[in-house]
Structure 1
Amino acid sequence: MKPRLITIAVLALGGQGGGVLVDWIVDLAEHAGWTAQATSVAGVAQRTGATIYYIELAEPTPGREPVLALMPVPGEVDILIAAELMEAGRSVERGFVTPNRTTVITSSHRTYAVQEKMAPGNGTADSSAVLSVVQTAAQRVVADDMQALAVRHGSVISACLFGALAGSGVLPFDAADFEAVVERGGVGVKPSLAAMRAAALLAREQQALPTLDNPADAMQTAPRALPERVAHAPLEALVEQVRREFPAAAWNWLGEGLARVTEWQDVDYGHEYLSRVRPFADSDAAAGDASAMLTIAAARWIAVAMAYDDVIRVADLKTRATRDERVRGEVGAGADDVLGLEEFFHPRLEEVLGLLPERWAKRIESSPWLSESLQRRLAHGRRIQTHTIGGFLQLRMAAGLRRWRRGSRRHAAEVLHLEQWLAEARRAVNTGDRALAAEILHCRRLVKGYSDTHARGQSRFDRLMHAARRLEGRPEAAARLRELREAALKDAEGRALDVAERALFAADALAVPPR
């Protein structure tokens, strides 16, 4: 008689404890006398690396040694465990999930892929559609936010997935056998058991899959409420100015904007921020617009424009204590664990010159020897270990350049571009087209990041500003500019914008604007 064979595929991202989960399953089977074999295939560096683990469990075969496979075969996987929803979707695409055989246990939370983050606009996949596909393809699905469940019990997601596996009843082992595996491990036993039991109960009692929200922009968060009091007196004065001089509908956005620009630079920069927003607040007041349409758009996007990403900002963020705490949480490092971080920096010559005063930058540019020497030193980038004193101090020194930031070439260029953009929006207001002015303000969403990403976004932004000038005075100007903006946000290469521009300007018998 052929012995029973159970095949299990586990898909997990780096830092989610996929290896620990596999070790637990193997230990579980071997202590019951089964033969277990586990293999793994590491994926590419996407979302910290996605790994496929494969386990085959063979029931006891006294006197015989089973021959086991090294990798999952489409159509022959009994249990599929995914530590993130999109990995469950990918397993369906690979053929690992079949309706008459596979039980899928998956977390419903999302860890966004590089492709989703790279999109200039909202590039996130539809979570509810992915879960629906998984449900259609599988014999049974157990799904919930295992990451949130793990956090609530002070544990890690692998413990919840192991518990859901126990509760699903698809393996011929008792709940006590599962718990004994964790107890034998001897590390984090109490929180792991609590997370396991909660997930096992969920798997046993789940009657329907969770309803997943798909917001218009999953990566956008609502502004926090404007604080009643601020401990820092100069900031308190700015908050009071917001309440006194700006419409209440925009207070939360203005509070977020102030927090961003003052953290990026200083309180004086916060005064500059409010002075740039004020003309649009005056326009809303004059128009009797209680929704404060222009004030909110200005509050949001002027803050983004003023707090642009540069080498100083990146160095500051990478050396904050809060970042170390976040990374420790992501990899599950304990308080006594040594955590090493290696940062890769590859600034272009333009970024380095941007840190300098204009006269210094010009002097270097005018010297071929100096320019070429710097270019050679920057060609290969640098790896900086920020867990060492030397590496940490290098980045802190770069972050300390903030006090001289306003005198840099980069800041002068950003301010010039900012003022030109706001002049376009104010001109639309003065011509009576407030809707077009709002769209011009929203176009700032295209400019983000630094280096090549910033240059590409600014190039598309400039094309939209050129289009706005051509559309000025037309009744449908705001709607047409919105269409161009949405097209520009569809892909990083600008192909959708090219198509939209040609269609718009051909219909209007206009020449396509220069790049």
Structure 2
Amino acid sequence: MSQQQPISLLLCALGGEGGGVLTEWLVETARHAGYPVQATSIPGVAQRTGATTYYLEVFPVPVKELDGKRPVLGLYPMPGRLDALVSSELLETVRQISLGHASSDRTLVLSSTARALTTMEKMQMGDGRRDAQGLLNLITAHSRAHHVLDMAELTRQAGTIVSAVMLGCIAASGLLPMGRAEYEAILKDSGGSAQASLRGFALGFDAVHAQRTQAQFIEQVLTPKAVAPAAEVPALPAPVAALFPGVLHEIIALGHARLVEYQNAAYAQRYIERLQQVLAAERASDPQGTRGWAVTREMARWLALWMAFDDIIRVADLKSRASRWSRVLGEVKAGEADLLKLYDHFKPGAPEFAALLPTDLAQRVLAWDRKRVLAGKTPWALPLKIGTHSVAGMLALRGLAMLRALRPLGSRYATEQALIEQWLAAVVGSTARHWPTGHELALCGRLIKGYGSTNERGKDNLLHVVQHLAVADHFEHDDARAAAIAAARQAALADDAGKTLDQALVKHGVPARPVKAQPIRWMRRPPVKKTS
């Protein structure tokens, strides 16, 4: 017994993922198999949801063989002394590694490739996501062995919680002395969700078992291509496919399908006609397509996203879809006998309502709201709480979604199309004259993102680049212009406030963005209570 050491595991799950349930399953399995076991929870918080880690120690000698002795088990993981780190989220795995728990000579890491984006990742103007391959490299460098798989996808397939999949991964790893049948016996007694838990367990077990028995595929499993199965690409209509090189078909098919769903086939055809203008300009400057038609590719992506701009019609459509209700049912694990009520909160303001009105009426509504603000009042908004589970609530959302046919009559639609045409004309003209400049302007489509003030700020930034850098005549050559546009785009994505962009604009000889007038609001000083 003196030479035996407890097997230590640190279990990490985000809030609501069943980390406590997983710990209970492991404890019950170990006890059922006759092994000493102890588990403790370590409360904590995270940027995404609550995060509680669970520390578990199992002594690999049956109680009946200890001659009445009892091992002393620890309450907290010792740095570098951890036998296994199990996590349901990739960045959480790396966070625990950064705390010194894992070691390259001892620790087995079982991790999911799934991500729950942090607040800082979501706040970035550009793509703020952490590099997944970099996180995987850290796991490789700080683990004795590792099995990385998409637990979220396996959970979805099984219709269960991720803790069941994690249990299967632990069982298949061979780290603990219990057999598969002993784990499954505990799951069979877990209540009404036993069958779903067993399905998730089996999927997790088989996935890790396959990695263990086929070591030659470990390198392939850890590459981004194996992180998650690619979504099925919709078929591009044959007449449309004939207009573009084959290398562009996939990205254009995605954009085309998005716009058919967003508005209709005629709107998607308008997207195709715009892309044809870009392709014609690119063929003029690069007839052989030696650059892979990169300008058309970028425009296919960012143009589709801009044309499918978010408005209250789009929000109502997404909120009232059957697929959304099914997803919520799965997330809350609601059974057939459970009663689920779902409320959506909205707060549309004057701009959202004005967007659906003809331009003349919209201007009156916006002018009225500006007058309120100048008078010291807050912008008008209508707080709404809609029960999506109710007939009235669903009818309200579906009725609003059916206004899609009226969208082209609204002021927002006209404004967005005019801005798109301005950007499109700049890209087409620049590409035909100097390919790198057109490519940089196409990449500026990344600036259009989000909604509300974020979306407006992105459009202002892009149009300022188009109206100044793209047409300025002080550049010595077009390569200098392309470099200036690239610098401005990177500056706009790096700084939400826009100060970095203004500095980049001035540095390259064009004016900074105009300062927008902001009303001054006077606040009454609260009365001071006199004390005797």
TM class by shorter chain equals: 0.7 to 0.9
1:184 aligned to 2:189?
A: yes
Indicate how the Cα distance of structure 1 residues 121 and 79 shifts in structure 2: closer, same or farther if over 3 A, else same: same
Considering only aligned residues, what root-mean-square deviation do their CA atoms show, in Å? Answer: 4.1
Aligned to 2:260: 262
**Counterpart-to-counterpart distance in 2, 1:165 and 1:403:** 53
1:303 aligned to 2:308?
A: no
The answer (yes or no) to whether the contact 1:168–1:203 under 8 Å persists in 2 is no
Instruction: Return 156-165 or 110-119, whichever deviates more.
Output: 110-119
**Counterpart-to-counterpart distance in 1, 2:394 and 2:16:** 24
**CA displacement at 1:24 relative to structure 2:** 0.8
Q: Deviations over 1:241-275 (max 9, x none)?
A: x3565566545444433322232222332343344
Aligned to 1:233: none
**CA displacement at 1:12 relative to structure 2:** 1.6
**CA displacement at 1:87 relative to structure 2:** 1.2
**Counterpart-to-counterpart distance in 1, 2:236 and 2:498:** 37
* Counterpart selection for 1:482 from 466, 486, 489: 486
Aligned to 1:452: 453
Instruction: Return 360-369 or 178-187, whichever deviates more.
Output: 360-369
Instruction: Return 111-120 or 256-265, whichever deviates more.
Output: 111-120
1:43 aligned to 2:45?
A: yes
**CA displacement at 1:89 relative to structure 2:** 0.0
Aligned to 2:326: 325
Indicate how the Cα distance of structure 1 residues 219 and 196 shifts in structure 2: closer, same or farther if over 3 A, else same: closer
Indicate how the Cα distance of structure 1 residues 331 and 206 shifts in structure 2: closer, same or farther if over 3 A, else same: farther
Aligned to 1:12: 13
**Counterpart-to-counterpart distance in 2, 1:473 and 1:68:** 70
In structure 1, give the amino acid aligned to 2:258.
R
* Counterpart selection for 1:134 from 132, 139, 142: 139
Q: Deviations over 1:430-457 (max 9, x none)?
A: 6x22432333233122102211221232
**Counterpart-to-counterpart distance in 1, 2:449 and 2:205:** 44
Q: Deviations over 1:227-251 (max 9, x none)?
A: 44xxxxxxxxxxx3x3565566545
In structure 1, give the amino acid aligned to 2:493.
L
In structure 1, give the amino acid aligned to 2:324.
R
**Counterpart-to-counterpart distance in 1, 2:89 and 2:160:** 16
Indicate how the Cα distance of structure 1 residues 383 and 93 shifts in structure 2: closer, same or farther if over 3 A, else same: farther
Q: Deviations over 1:71-96 (max 9, x none)?
A: 65655654321012211101012333
Aligned to 1:279: 277
**Counterpart-to-counterpart distance in 1, 2:368 and 2:484:** 46
The answer (yes or no) to whether the contact 1:127–1:214 under 8 Å persists in 2 is yes
Q: TM-score, normalised by structure 2?
A: 0.77
The answer (yes or no) to whether the contact 1:103–1:141 under 8 Å persists in 2 is yes
**Counterpart-to-counterpart distance in 2, 1:357 and 1:489:** 33
1:357 aligned to 2:358?
A: yes
The answer (yes or no) to whether the contact 1:11–1:50 under 8 Å persists in 2 is no
**Counterpart-to-counterpart distance in 2, 1:429 and 1:131:** 38
SS at match of 2:310: coil
1:171 aligned to 2:181?
A: no
In structure 1, give the amino acid aligned to 2:401.
A
In structure 1, give the amino acid aligned to 2:477.
R
Indicate how the Cα distance of structure 1 residues 335 and 285 shifts in structure 2: closer, same or farther if over 3 A, else same: farther
SS at match of 1:469: coil
* Counterpart selection for 1:92 from 91, 94, 97: 97
Q: Deviations over 1:131-175 (max 9, x none)?
A: 332343345434333444555666654233212222333334333
* Counterpart selection for 1:194 from 202, 216, 228: 202
In structure 2, give the amino acid aligned to 1:52.
T
**Counterpart-to-counterpart distance in 2, 1:201 and 1:243:** 43
Q: Deviations over 1:364-407 (max 9, x none)?
A: 3454799579957638x544332233332332233233222222
The answer (yes or no) to whether the contact 2:351–2:366 under 8 Å persists in 1 is no
In structure 2, give the amino acid aligned to 1:489.
L
The answer (yes or no) to whether the contact 2:42–2:54 under 8 Å persists in 1 is yes
**Counterpart-to-counterpart distance in 1, 2:367 and 2:169:** 66
**Counterpart-to-counterpart distance in 2, 1:397 and 1:4:** 65
Indicate how the Cα distance of structure 1 residues 213 and 58 shifts in structure 2: closer, same or farther if over 3 A, else same: closer
The answer (yes or no) to whether the contact 2:469–2:510 under 8 Å persists in 1 is no
Indicate how the Cα distance of structure 1 residues 357 and 473 shifts in structure 2: closer, same or farther if over 3 A, else same: farther
Q: How many residues align?
A: 491
* Counterpart selection for 2:430 from 425, 428, 431: 428
